[in-house]
Structures are given as C-alpha cells and as structure tokens.
C-alpha cells in the first residue's frame, strides 16, 4: 500500500520540536492574556534552541504564577509562596549559575506582597528573566485592585482606584535591572522579539507584560483591558531580534534603526517610530516613562539595556562548576585542616 510520506518534522537547531517546549493544558480562563504569554515563551525557547533541561522556572502565587505549568514541561519548576519568588530564584541561581532562570509573577505578587523582594532582586541584577503578567487586578481572589492599577480605573463592580499605579519598569531601571521592557500579551511580534533577546541577556530582565484579565478587568473603564491597550499602546520602536547563531537576514534602513548587541553576540534592532530613542541611556529611559505616564499612554518596547554590567553571580567570584555539583572532596576540607584549627583554639 502506498503511503504518503510525512512532511519533515520541524526542528530547532538542537533537534527538538516545538512540542518538547510545551507544558500541560492551561486551566486559566479562555482568552486570558497569560495564555498568550505562555505560547510566546514556548516559541522563544524553541526558536533560541535552549535545552529545556537547562531552564528553571519559578513563580509566586496567583493566576500568573500557575502559568509555568503551561510551558516547558521538561524544565524543573518551583511554584513558591506569594511574593517570594525572588528569594527562591536568588538561591537557585547562586547554587547553579549555569542554568537559565525564568520567573513568572503577577502585579499583586510583585508590586504589593512581593515588593520587598522584587526591589532587591532588581538591585542584585540576578541573571534571570522576570515576567510580570500585569492585569492590574487580583484574579484568583476574584477581582480586587492591585498596586499597578491606574489611578481612576474602574472595577466591574464600579469601585474606582484612587491611588497612583506603581511603574515596575521605572522602578526596575532605577534599582539596577539591566534589561527592562514592557509589552502587551496581544502583541505577538514585539513580545517574541523581547523574549528572545531576554534569553540572550545576562542579567536581570524585567518584562512587564500587560495581560488583560478577561473575567475581572476587561471592561469599559479598565486601563488594562484589550480595548484600552489597543487604543492607548504607544510602541517606542519596532523590535527585531537576531540571535548570535543566525545569519543577519533582515535589512534595515540605517537612518531609522539602532542596533544593540547582547553579551552573547546576538543583535537587537530597534526601528525608530518616533524620536531618537537610545535604550542605553538610563536617565532618558526614566524620563521617557514619566512622560508617557503624563500623556496617559502605555509605552511599550525595550526601555533600557546595559549588556556590560556583570550579573550577580558573575560578581561573586564563584568557581566554574555549579556549587550544586561539587563533590565531597571539594566541599569538605581534610582532617589535617580540622586538626590545625583545633590547635588554634588550644
């Protein structure tokens, strides 16, 4: 019997298929922005050809923090306690500085209960990707405002937020994160480019991804709704990312693009939409974010990048092998060492 030959299975550069990067089925609401983010994460790690076993996932508590179950099923994951993902990530990254770390958090998990640990993670420039799935609302407890909800925004039940929002991106730049951007869960192209660049970056990546909550915060009056985002999103630039292992196959008009190089040699191209924006200028980045806020715009794109700053683990003077892999011959000094110490105390 004649058989139709199967079409060749699509593989990435390390011979894995996209299915090798998927997780279990999402239990989040249909249409939740978080699911789109999970899909972009799957694509980004697949396209970058990262070994799934080399990736470690971390999260706190909330809808966002459930999402690591829905991507990279072959990667270890630690779903910790509310607002404390940074501590788990810091311990993990120090224990094994050879793996890649991605943390998923929400706006409540980061900007309210987790603020204490968040600021210290940013300050340390821990090598990890920290994603805030930001919907301005507590989903899992059924719709209370979070600290990133915009002033004046309105809940489904009519409650109006009277407090100013915390801008996690401005904060992250201020504190020392070295790759800071904002995107929108519905902006496939921009989010994919940012995620791939994030994978290539060595240091803290903070990505605040506006991710509308279809159940509790996607109505008229919400500033984190799909509609509001479509009307008010102000992309800073068009982003293209070319990994170090790819031939540069896109051409840009020199006059309108800026190219930035990440530590592994990957290139990120920022195509100007408006003024001459330089993502390596920290003060300009903070100013630009403040201006967008004044204009009630949701600015998206890569705000700040410093590829030269050593990461937390780089600056610790660690041995090359992961601390987690050291044998007893290295971790337990010999008998003569104890005897010499005892002599000191005689």
Partner 1 sequence: MSGIDVAPKQGTLIVSTGQPVVNDFSIQVATVNGSGSQSANAVLMRSIFLMGVPVSGKNLFPSNIAGLPTWFTIRVSKKGYVARKHTSEILVAMNPETAEADVKKLPPGAMAVYDEPLKLDALRTDVPFYAVPFDKLVAPVAPEPKLRKLLRNMVYVGVLAHLLKIELPDVELAISKQFNGKKRATEVNVAAARAGHEYAAANFQPARFTVERMNENANKIIIDGNTAGALGALFGGVTVISWYPITPSSSLIENLIDLLKEHRVDASGKATYAVVQSEDELAAIGMVLGASWNGARAMTATSGPGISLMAEFTGLGYYAEIPAVVWNVQRVGPSTGLPTRTAQGDLLSTAFLSHGDTKHPMLLPGSVKECFEFGVAAFDLAERLQTPLFVLSDLDLGMNNWVSEPFDYPEKPIDRGKVLSKEDLDKLGSFQRYKDVDGDGIGWRTIPGTLHPNAAWFARGSGHNEKAHYSESPVDYVNNVDRLARKLDTARTLVPAPVLEHSAPGAKIGLIAYGSSHYAVAEAVDQLEEKGIAADYLRLRAYPFNQQLAEFIAAHERVYIIEQNRDAQMAQLIKMDIAAADAVKLRSILHYDGHPLEAGTVTEGVVAQEQK
Binding site for partner 1 (CB under 8 A): 20, 51-54, 56, 58, 68-69, 73-81, 84, 86-96, 98-99, 116-117, 120, 316-320, 322-326, 328, 330-333, 335, 337-339, 341-342, 345-346
Nearer to partner 1, 60 or 301 (CB): 60
Nearer to partner 1, 95 or 160 (CB): 95
Least distance between partner 1 and beta carbon 126 (Å): 10
Q: How far is CA 41 from CA 2, 3, 188, in A?
A: 40, 36, 11
Contact 141, 108 (CB under 8 A): no
Nearer to partner 1, 3 or 331 (CB): 331
Q: Rounded CA gap, 156 and 220, in Å? A: 9
Nearer to partner 1, 91 or 265 (CB): 91
Specify the 3-state DSSP secondary structure of 282: helix
Least distance between partner 1 and beta carbon 311 (Å): 13
Q: How far is CA 166 from CA 146, 149, 151, 285, in A?
A: 9, 8, 10, 16
Least distance between partner 1 and beta carbon 341 (Å): 7
Strands 137-138 and 144-145: antiparallel
Q: How far is CA 11 from CA 23, 43, 60, 90, 112, in A?
A: 18, 12, 32, 33, 41
Least distance between partner 1 and beta carbon 322 (Å): 7
Least distance between partner 1 and beta carbon 133 (Å): 18
Nearer to partner 1, 151 or 318 (CB): 318
Q: How far is CA 105 from CA 98, 273, 315, 329, in A?
A: 23, 30, 26, 39
């Amino acid at each position: 019997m004649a058989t139709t030959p199967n079409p060749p299975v699509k593989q990435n550069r390390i011979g894995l298929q996209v299915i090798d990067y998927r997780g279990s089925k999402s239990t989040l609401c249909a249409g939740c922005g978080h699911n789109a983010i999970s899909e972009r994460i799957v694509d980004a790690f697949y396209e970058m050809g990262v070994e799934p076993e080399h990736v470690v996932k971390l999260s706190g508590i909330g809808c966002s923090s459930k999402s690591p179950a829905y991507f990279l099923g072959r990667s270890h994951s630690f779903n910790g306690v509310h607002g404390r993902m940074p501590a788990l990530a810091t311990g993990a990254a120090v224990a094994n500085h050879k793996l890649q770390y991605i943390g998923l958090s929400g706006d409540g998990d980061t900007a309210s209960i987790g603020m204490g640990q968040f600021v210290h993670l940013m300050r340390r420039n821990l090598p990890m990707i920290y994603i805030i799935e930001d919907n301005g609302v507590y989903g899992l407890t059924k719709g209370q405002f979070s600290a990133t909800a915009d002033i004046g925004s309105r809940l489904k039940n009519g409650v109006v937020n009277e407090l100013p929002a915390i801008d996690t991106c401005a904060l992250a730049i201020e504190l020392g994160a070295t790759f800071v951007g904002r995107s929108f869960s519905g902006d496939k192209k921009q989010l994919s480019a940012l995620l791939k660049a994030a994978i290539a970056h060595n240091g803290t990546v903070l990505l605040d991804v506006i991710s509308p909550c279809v159940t509790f915060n996607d109505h008229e009056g919400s500033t984190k709704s799909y509609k509001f985002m479509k009307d008010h999103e102000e992309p800073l630039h068009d982003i293209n990312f070319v990994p170090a292992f790819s031939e540069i196959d896109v051409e840009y008009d020199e006059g309108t693009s800026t190219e930035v190089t990440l530590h592994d040699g990957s290139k990120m191209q920022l195509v100007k939409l408006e003024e001459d924006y330089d993502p390596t200028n920290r003060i300009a980045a903070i100013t630009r974010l403040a201006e967008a806020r004044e204009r009630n715009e949701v600015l998206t794109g890569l705000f700040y990048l410093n590829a030269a700053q050593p990461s937390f683990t780089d600056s610790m003077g660690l041995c090359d092998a992961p601390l987690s892999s050291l044998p007893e011959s290295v971790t337990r000094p010999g008998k003569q060492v104890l005897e010499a110490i005892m002599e000191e105390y005689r």
